[in-house]
Structure 1
């Protein structure tokens, strides 16, 4: 059995910046805005797999890169928005010029409770799948104005500047939600209480799927019945809580199979399967392939 593989989780912006080998450092622990052109020439060419505990929104008029969320990898070039969310397994590779902006911010800074009817309904904040969204030139210009004002306010971190940045982020998220909803074509109204429960459930699964994969466990955390949880998830995501738990577990399994050389028995143990055969059956049910066969297809493609 080889060395234990651990996906690095970045909780602080400056730890992430240090790993990326950029001289930039954040002066505030809950938010930071930057221009790609300020990252420096020594920036590492790629990072990942890794995870973050905060939100990262990047927009670029020129953004040649390969970005990954779990095992899904997308090639992007220009007028694109990339949203990385807490709990996702991420990667990126710089394949050309980058011109644009990045905002890093923690959920605590957003102060979502100050506008619950709006913010809690934005399901993109709790997405599992990649959020790589094409932008029109008009949309890019609009969003870039938010970034420029936040950069200006960031120069001085007095209480008033921080308030302005928080308010700008909240408004920018409203615009981002409109763009994501339009692209993803799933903007129909869902009862607010169902939306709150379903999105919180998905976040809890990302945090605890290695600990417990039963629907009852998450219903207990949410202080509701399993039946009510199932109803909320079905109305919001058109699937079942168990399917979401399985999807997240499966995405992590695929990522580990593709990004590490862990033995399959060790991988099953890391994913909290009590028996190797149970993991093999689970993976085959989800993908149609055994873990070993899936890994072989990756080698052939490579």
Structure 2
């Protein structure tokens, strides 16, 4: 397996990079904030990144070329002046052969807490929630404001680290507000009550999946009937709650397969399935390969 392993908050990938490889490139507290050019990142990330997660929120902004990434269970491809957000804790993966330029920025939830800003500020932006649309496609006018903000963050951070904290916080908040102006929900128009229920379901799924794997569990948490939850989620997302649950289990399993040495049986228990045989059948149903074959594929990449 590659020497570059993934853990914690050392880069947007959540990957731990040995200090000797980092050299003096990164500055400041990587657990709070960082920004770097995408083309510079590739000297550290030299292979496809399998299912991973980070404790920081990240944003990938492309200025030239294209980039592909899977966020949760959905694939995305972006081009010049487009961006993707990966909320903290969300599962993601990407390939290593994209040709592009741009910026990658990462920040912890409490980075924007300071003398100017309040707690939980990130909750004000739907694109930073696990149920939000991570794909942002600004028009030419908005892109003309957004691109210089990335450049300004890059200049100040590369020269001063986190010394000018108030300035970095202000530029980042301005960037998020500009993005919020052009944000479009993934689900499109729908009944407000239905969208609210679906978003709450997905947020609960994100935090409860290792202990709750039945539609009835989530219906109970939402104080609605399983039938109502089924109809609502299917109408808003096109996928049933059962499919959402299965995909969430698979995402958890992929992270454990790529980031730990736990056995397949141990991983089955970790994701809330006591029967390893059922876990293997579920994995193969969606991935067309067994968990063990998936792990071998990662190790060979």
TM-score range, shorter chain: 0.5 to 0.7
Partner of 1:167: 173
Partner of 2:203: 203
Partner of 1:105: 107
Partner of 1:43: 44
Partner of 2:188: 187
The CA RMSD over aligned residues, in Å, is 4.9
Deviates more, 1:74-83 or 1:195-204: 74-83
Partner of 2:149: 146
Contact map agreement 1:32 1:103 (CA 8 A) in 2: yes
Within a 5 Å distance, the mapping from 1:1-302 to structure 2 comes to 8-11=6-9, 16=14, 19=17, 21-22=21-22, 23-27=25-29, 29-36=31-38, 39=40, 42-46=43-47, 47-63=49-65, 67-69=69-71, 80-95=82-97, 98-108=100-110, 109=112, 119=125, 122=126, 125-127=129-131, 131=134, 140-151=143-154, 155=160, 160-161=166-167, 164-175=170-181, 177-178=183-184, 181=185, 186-191=187-192, 194-218=194-218, 224-226=223-225, 233-234=233-234, 236-253=236-253, 265-283=265-283, 286-287=285-286, 291=290
Q: Output the CA distance in 1 between the equivalents of 2:265 and 2:68.
A: 30
Report deviation, 1:69: 4.2
Contact map agreement 2:13 2:53 (CA 8 A) in 1: no
Work out the number of aligned pairs and report it: 281
Q: Unaligned regions of 5+ residues in structure 2, if any?
A: none
Q: Unaligned regions of 5+ residues in structure 1, if any?
A: 1-6
CA 1:75–1:257 in 2, change beyond 3 Å: closer, same or farther? farther
Q: Whose helix fraction is larger, Structure 1's or Structure 2's?
A: 1
Report deviation, 1:29: 4.7
Q: Output the CA distance in 2 between the equivalents of 1:152 and 1:32.
A: 12
